[in-house]
Amino acid sequence: MPVLTSPDIANKFKEKWLAVYPEDQVTGSDSVPLDDSLTSLHWLQNFSILSADPERPNGAGPGCPSSQQHLFLKRLGFPKGGTDSPSSPPAGDTAATGMPLYLGSPVTSGSDSTAAPRFASCAHPASGYPQIPIQASPPVEVDYKTNPKVKPPYSYASLICMAMQASKQPKVTLSTIYNWITENFCYYRHAEPSWQNSIRHNLSLNKCFKKVPRQKDEPGKGGFWQIDPQYADMFVNGIFKRRRMSANHYNSSSSSSSSSSSSTHRQSKLVQGYHSTQNGCPYQEVGGKRKHLPSKISNKAMRVTESPLLATEAHKADILRGDFDLASVFDDVLSGNCSTFEDLDINTALSSLGCEMEVSMQGRQHSAGLGRWCGGGDLMGQSQHLSHHQSYGYMDLSTASLECAVNMGELQVPPPPQQQHPQQLDQDQLLQSHHHLQQFDEPSTLFPERPEEAMLQPWEEIKEEAQAIPLTLDQGFGLCEGFFTEMQPWERVEAYL
DNA sequence: CATTGTTTATAGCATA
DNA sequence: TATGCTATAAACAATG
């Protein structure tokens, strides 16, 4: 099969599409000029899977972010040294605040999960990030694998995450985590075993980790642990990202959303932080001290109620606004009887922290992929805000930081034979466009176990949203360019190539 | 009995 | 100063 560049693929796709749907031809005059300040996707188009290909030698030596690191940062919307991204590095990112950084990720440095990397106690080497303070002194490398005196400057959550990734397994046992840590961090080989208690404590209390009960036919003791995909974006290259932001930040960022927004809720839960949620119950301010409430409604059990599959009317409104948490769907699958998520192999994917996760999901679960190529900021996080309903037809581009969506009317769907009210026309255009796109992403293939829920949102309801922000076909193809570069296994698309 | 998992409590530090 | 994050310790239950 010839190697196609992303423009080739985009053009080819466009040609094939227009061969099938010539009515979708868009003339230049039909293209609505967009405000670049809000909708420019140049930075996104510049992001190519080729440049981000972890297999591709990047010549990065010690002190430079590995291609994987670079890739992941880019995928999080932090193009190296770029100022054209709508995002900026998170202030609370431990990976970017002088924390020691891998010199070759232990997680992704090869198939040898025990391969110990060298770590550098230095500022973030990615000097391309102007916000990141760079230490003047040269990095002092510490080999944590052999140095028993230096405690690795990684939180337990980070260590757990590293171990999970290194295992290349979708789920790991506690002992696996122990083993990986002791193998790769000499400090813990010699330390008192109390750190294991802390590991267990962290696994239990940190919402980012999800326990997977052992099947009855699986021998052994204890369950498995995995990174809760809902919080997978809290890890950057194995480093636990703190999500500490002020309440005002979230209030303002979600001011346009319903207070019952699941994503807002989710983020607010994150903001609540470790103590406020770690015990599975909310804290209450009593006499200046935090006190536990007897209720055990929140935390992990709470996520079930957040499921969009149990959407209330208000929740549906959020969904229509794009304020919807796809991860909740995953969570539902995870927490329910469905084994779909295992099929998605998201946890194996997490072994490369998001990158493979998305690739894997693209093959089988398109919405996440769409979420990424449509998203602009914290892409992993944003992908979680995409519903699989939105992923087709609507091509959810409503994620806030991108400030972009698709006006399906721009697809020039031929008008229906009979006279219609303009609004009705738009609706039909949207629906027809939806049908086109549906061929690329059929909901029935996403969650076949729950076909009734796959039809939760009638397409009529998203009309207004679709009208809100225009995007021309050409622009859509521009978006597709990067997308299809990564979507080659996508059989239905191949038919168009 | 050892391991695993949960929960409570507290301290120290960072940050808004 | 209040709050959040992390580490640490410990008690306790469940399980193989």
Q: Is the CB of A289 under 7 A from strand B?
A: no
Residue–nucleotide distance: A64 CA to B14 C1' (Å): 28
List the single protein residue with the shortest CA to C1' distance from C1: A288
Q: What is the pLDDT of residues A240-299, one digit of tens each?
A: 665 444 334 333 333 333 333 333 333 333 333 333 333 333 333 333 333 333 333 333
Overall average pLDDT of the A310-330 stretch: 34
Give CA angle at A128 (A127, A132), nearest 5°: 60
Cα–Cα distance between A468 and A452 in angstroms, integer?
A: 28
Footprint of strand C on the protein (CB under 7 A): A 94, 151, 154-157, 192, 194-195, 197-198, 200-202, 219-221, 240, 242-244, 270-276, 278, 283, 285, 288, 290
Residues 178-197 of A with CB under 7 A from strand B: 178, 197
Q: What is the pLDDT of residues A374-399, one digit of tens each?
A: 222 333 333 333 333 322 222 232 33
Overall average pLDDT of the A334-352 stretch: 33
Tokens 């498995």 correspond to what residue? A224
**Which residues of A213-250 form beta strands (DSSP E)?**
224-227, 235-236, 239-240
Residue–nucleotide distance: A247 CA to C12 C1' (Å): 36
The edge-to-edge listing of strands for the beta sheet with A172-173 is A172-173, A224-227, A209-212
Residue–nucleotide distance: A281 CA to C2 C1' (Å): 20
Q: At A251, which helix (H) or strand (E)?
A: helix A247-253
The bases of strand C with some atom under 7 A from any protein CB are 2-11, 15-16
Tell me the DSSP string of A369-404: HHHHHH--SSHHHHHTT--HHIIIII-----TTT--
Confidence band (pLDDT; 50, 70, 90) for A234?
low
List the single protein residue with the shortest CA to C1' distance from C2: A288
Q: Closest nucleotide to A289's CA, by C1' atom? A: C2
Residue–nucleotide distance: A93 CA to B14 C1' (Å): 13
- For residue A313, the cross-strand partners are none
Q: Is the CB of A92 under 7 A from strand B?
A: yes
Q: Is the CB of A155 under 7 A from strand B?
A: no
Give CA angle at A164 (A485, A154), nearest 5°: 105
What distance, in Å, lies between the first and last C-alpha atoms of chain A? Answer: 11
Q: What is the pLDDT of residues A102-157, one digit of tens each?
A: 333 344 333 344 434 444 433 333 333 333 333 334 456 778 888 888 888 899 99
Residue–nucleotide distance: A161 CA to C12 C1' (Å): 27
Q: What is the pLDDT of residues A189-203, one digit of tens each?
A: 988 889 999 999 999
Q: Is the CB of A211 under 7 A from strand B?
A: yes
> Considering the domain A156-234 in this protein, what is its CATH number?
1.10.10.10
Give the per-residue pLDDT at A12: 53
